[in-house]
Structure 1
Amino acid sequence: MSEIAILKGLQKNFGKFQALSDVTFTVNPGEVVGFIGPNGAGKSTTIRILLGIIKRDAGEARIFGKDVWQDSLEIHKRISYVPGDVSLWGNLTGGEIIDLFLKLHGGGDKQKRDELIKRFELDPKKKAKGYSKGNRQKVGLIAALSVDSDFYIFDEPTSGLDPLMESVFQDEVEKIKQKGKAILLSSHILSEVERLADKVVIIRQGKIVETGTLDELRHLTRSTVTLATRDDVSQMASLNGVHDFSQKDNQATFSADNRYINDILKQATTLGVLKLEAVPPTLEELFMRHYEG
């Protein structure tokens, strides 16, 4: 099957402010795409265009091969969406709202709903006006995850949830992925994206600045190496690909370009390796590289 969602050259202006400029990426079946960037970078604007809530100014946006603006009603039958702040009807109970959402979507799995209510530790008999932000998020997540959709769009879905509930959400995303469903996950919790995403799209000031798998993105950057050797470790400092070299006794710490790692290891073995650790950059470090300054 071809791509679930395609965005090409997406542009959006609000008056003179350009919110999106040439946003291009795809989401494939069985793939979790982590969509990351700070507040105001354009994540929610992109998602609103995908949902057919606002109209793009230029470019192409298609889900299931259909135009997101013209065919939004058809598209919505096959997608589930959870925003970062779920608004609910205050006088209805959580259980009533979940059932209403499922009915509006045309069904849903009641057994799955009950299992998720238990796993998310939600009191479904309590009125929504008495819910905390975290409990409102749980209602949205339970409703979305109880429906068998082909494409799930999560925009900061775990905001307000404690780490235990974040973990329940992450388990559910893994299950959806195993079924070959597509997921667009916009999140500021980088460890969550690092755990779940097959591909990462980094947006900055309305432009995509990096796209690729974590391995591909790490390949572009440096690993942090800690090395202790029997002979003088300072000989490593002058090698190609070695940066930010610091030494204490016969142990050195430095960053290394991944394309030179083989040469660096060869040289290290001639000095008699006592300790070697090489840590790839975290998603947070990749992210910060684009946002520092």
Structure 2
Amino acid sequence: MAEIVKVKNVKKNFGKFQALSDVTFTVEAGEVVGFIGPNGAGKSTTIRVLLGIINRQAGEATIFGKDVWKDSLEIHKRISYVPGDVALWGSLTGGEIIDLFMKLHGGGDHEKKKYLIRRFELDPKKKAKSYSKGNRQKVGLIAALSVHSDLYIFDEPTSGLDPLMEAVFQEEVEKLKHAGKAILLSSHILSEVERLADRVVIIRKGRIVETGTLKDLRHLTRSTVTVETKKDLSPLAELKGVHDFQQKEGNSAIFSVDAPFINEILLEATKLDVKKFESVPPTLEDLFMRHYEGD
């Protein structure tokens, strides 16, 4: 796949405060990269660097092979961006604002615009000043999805949307991915990232602390095992790789297991006449909290 976004050893200071330190990741065509971290971790600062809004102190940041600061005007012709709080002109209608955004971008697909207005259940005739936060987000999303772009940058895009509209957004992102577009998705909704992302980049205090596919990252933390046997299962508690063993009523227990030991534990459990053995891999939230416990 073609490399669309390249960020390498990017640093950014605000006075004495180091907001970004050696941030490195890529986004390729046809993939969704989930960019996650709590408020203040450096997500929005990184995105502002990519958009050419602020300049970095050091490192390399390119989109389509062009420098994000020097070539920002050229780059913006081929990207769509939706922030977490879309600001609109209150005296214009939603439909007028969508048309304006599309015109500023250089055109777009008006049939797709109509389709998206129906899908997101937006009333385009209402003045923007009467819109709720969720409806303001819909205007930004419809405008961004109605134009032809090669890179889509979403920074908390579903903020204020109800679960039904979140699902609509997720379906549209999957269509973009299948069309070969590159998507950088920053979101607090970890289930959304888990569903959409091919790769995950976790940022903590301005540094990238984890990056990879969910499959890769799941090897770094523990699965949760629930087991029920006919024989006494207490010997399982002594096995290597078993943690937080909790025996329940009868011969049942729940515990966490380091990924490399799951097969060995299953083999030992079969000697106890297994009635139930369930292994649940760690969620993205588990991976996330692994890096933020104690903060």
TM range (shorter): over 0.9
Tell me the secondary structure at the aligned position of residue 167 of structure 2: helix
What's 2:8 paired with?
Answer: 8
Does structure 1 residue 147 correspond to structure 2 residue 155?
no
Note the C-alpha offset of 1:238: 1.1
CA shift digits 1:22-69 (9 cap, x unpaired):
100000111100000001110000000000000000000000000000
What's 2:115 paired with?
Answer: 115
Structure 1 CA distance for aligned equivalents of residues 132 and 264 of structure 2? 55
Note the C-alpha offset of 1:285: 1.1
Structure 2 CA distance for aligned equivalents of residues 269 and 12 of structure 1? 55
Aligned length: 293
Structure 2 CA distance for aligned equivalents of residues 211 and 199 of structure 1? 7
What's 1:230 paired with?
Answer: 230
Structure 2 CA distance for aligned equivalents of residues 193 and 265 of structure 1? 31
Note the C-alpha offset of 1:2: 2.7
Tell me the secondary structure at the aligned position of residue 13 of structure 1: strand
Does structure 1 residue 259 correspond to structure 2 residue 247?
no
Structure 1 CA distance for aligned equivalents of residues 34 and 75 of structure 2? 21
What's 1:71 paired with?
Answer: 71
Structure 2 CA distance for aligned equivalents of residues 247 and 96 of structure 1? 62
Q: What root-mean-square deviation, in Å, do the aligned CA atoms of Structure 1 and Structure 2 show?
A: 0.7
What's 1:286 paired with?
Answer: 287
The one-letter amino acid paired with 2:285 is E
The one-letter amino acid paired with 1:265 is L
**Which structure 2 residues correspond to residues 142-181 of structure 1 after superposition, within 5 A?**
142-181=142-181
Structure 2 CA distance for aligned equivalents of residues 39 and 260 of structure 1? 35
Structure 1 CA distance for aligned equivalents of residues 243 and 5 of structure 2? 40
Structure 1: 4+ residue segments shifted above 6 A: none
Structure 2 CA distance for aligned equivalents of residues 41 and 240 of structure 1? 35
Structure 1 CA distance for aligned equivalents of residues 232 and 129 of structure 2? 67
Gaps spanning 5+ residues in structure 1: where? none
CA shift digits 1:74-99 (9 cap, x unpaired):
10010000000111111111000000
Structure 1 CA distance for aligned equivalents of residues 147 and 278 of structure 2? 45
Tell me the secondary structure at the aligned position of residue 4 of structure 1: strand
Structure 2 CA distance for aligned equivalents of residues 226 and 262 of structure 1? 14
The one-letter amino acid paired with 2:92 is L
Structure 2 CA distance for aligned equivalents of residues 216 and 22 of structure 1? 22
Aligned residues with identical type, % of pairs: 79
Structure 2 CA distance for aligned equivalents of residues 87 and 94 of structure 1? 12
